[in-house]
C-alpha cells in the first residue's frame, strides 16, 4: 500500500511534453481572456490587470510539476528576463535558424525545458507597438519603469512561453 501511494505521488509529479504544451496553451488562453475582458473597460485598466493577473495565471497553470511562464529579451516585467538555458534558443528563433513551432531541451538539472515563440498580433500593438496612447504609456511606465517591450510590429516574436518539467 505504501509503495502504491509512493508510486502515485511520484508519477503525479511527472509530465509529458504534451502536458507541458497544454499548460502553456492554457496560460496563453487565460491571459488573452483576461486581457480582452479588461480592454473592454479601458486599455489603461488592462495594463493594471496584466500586472496583477499575469503572475497568478502563470501560477495557476503551473500544476503537476510543470512550471510555466513568459520571457522576452526585451522584457517589460524584470522577472520575465530569460534564464541562461533559454538564451541561445531565443537567439536562434529570432534569427529564424529554428523553424520548428517549439523546442524541447534536456536541462542540466535533469528536467526538460520547452520554449515556444509568441507572435505579435494587431491587438498587442496597443501596449507593445510603436504608437502607444499617452495614458497607456504612462500607466506602463508607472508599473514598469525599465520597460523594454515596445516597438513591435505584427508578426514579430514578442517573447516566449516556457515550461520546465520532469518527464
Q: What is the closest distance, in whole angstroms, from the C-beta atom of residue 103 to ligand HEC in the complex?
A: 17
Angle (CA) 140-155-165 rounded to 5° is 75
Using the rule CB under 6 A, which residue among 15, 80, 102, 114 binds ligand HEC?
Answer: 80
Closer residue to ligand HEC in complex, CB, 66/90: 90
Beta strands in the chain (DSSP E): 67-71, 103-106, 112-119, 157-165
Tell which residue, 124, 132, 133, has the closest CA to residue 157: 124
- Does residue 128 bind ligand HEC (CB under 6 A)? yes
Asked if 71 contacts 21 with a C-beta cutoff of 8 angstroms, the reply is no
What is the dihedral angle through the alpha carbons of 24, 29, 34, 37, rounded to the nearest 10 degrees? 170
Q: The C-alpha cell of 167 is what?
A: 518527464
Closer residue to ligand HEC in complex, CB, 98/123: 123
Q: What is the closest distance, in whole angstroms, from the C-beta atom of residue 104 to ligand HEC in the complex?
A: 19
Using the rule CB under 6 A, which residue among 15, 24, 61, 72 binds ligand HEC?
Answer: 72
- Does residue 121 bind ligand HEC (CB under 6 A)? yes
Using the rule CB under 6 A, which residue among 149, 162, 164, 165 binds ligand HEC?
Answer: 149
Please tell me the distance from the alpha carbon of residue 28 to that of residue 69, in angstroms, as a whole number: 10
Closer residue to ligand HEC in complex, CB, 14/52: 52
Angle (CA) 120-125-128 rounded to 5° is 85
Residues near ligand HEC (CB under 6 A)? 35, 43, 46-47, 50-51, 54, 70, 72, 75-77, 80, 118, 120-121, 123-124, 126-128, 149, 158-159
Amino acid at each position: 500500500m505504501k509503495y502504491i501511494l509512493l508510486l502515485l505521488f511520484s508519477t503525479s509529479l511527472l509530465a509529458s511534453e504534451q502536458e507541458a504544451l497544454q499548460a502553456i496553451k492554457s496560460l496563453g488562453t487565460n491571459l488573452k481572456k483576461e486581457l480582452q475582458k479588461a480592454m473592454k473597460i479601458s486599455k489603461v485598466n488592462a495594463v493594471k490587470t496584466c500586472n496583477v493577473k499575469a503572475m497568478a495565471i502563470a501560477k495557476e497553470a503551473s500544476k503537476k510539476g510543470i512550471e510555466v511562464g513568459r520571457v522576452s529579451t526585451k522584457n517589460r516585467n524584470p522577472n520575465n528576463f530569460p534564464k541562461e538555458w533559454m538564451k541561445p534558443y531565443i537567439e536562434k528563433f529570432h534569427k529564424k535558424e529554428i523553424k520548428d513551432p517549439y523546442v524541447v531541451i534536456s536541462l542540466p538539472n535533469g528536467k526538460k525545458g520547452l520554449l515556444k515563440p509568441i507572435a505579435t498580433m494587431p491587438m498587442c500593438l496597443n501596449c507593445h507597438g510603436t504608437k502607444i496612447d499617452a495614458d497607456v504609456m504612462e500607466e506602463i511606465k508607472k508599473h514598469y519603469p525599465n520597460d523594454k517591450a515596445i516597438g513591435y510590429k505584427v508578426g514579430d516574436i514578442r517573447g516566449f512561453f516556457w515550461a520546465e518539467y520532469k518527464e
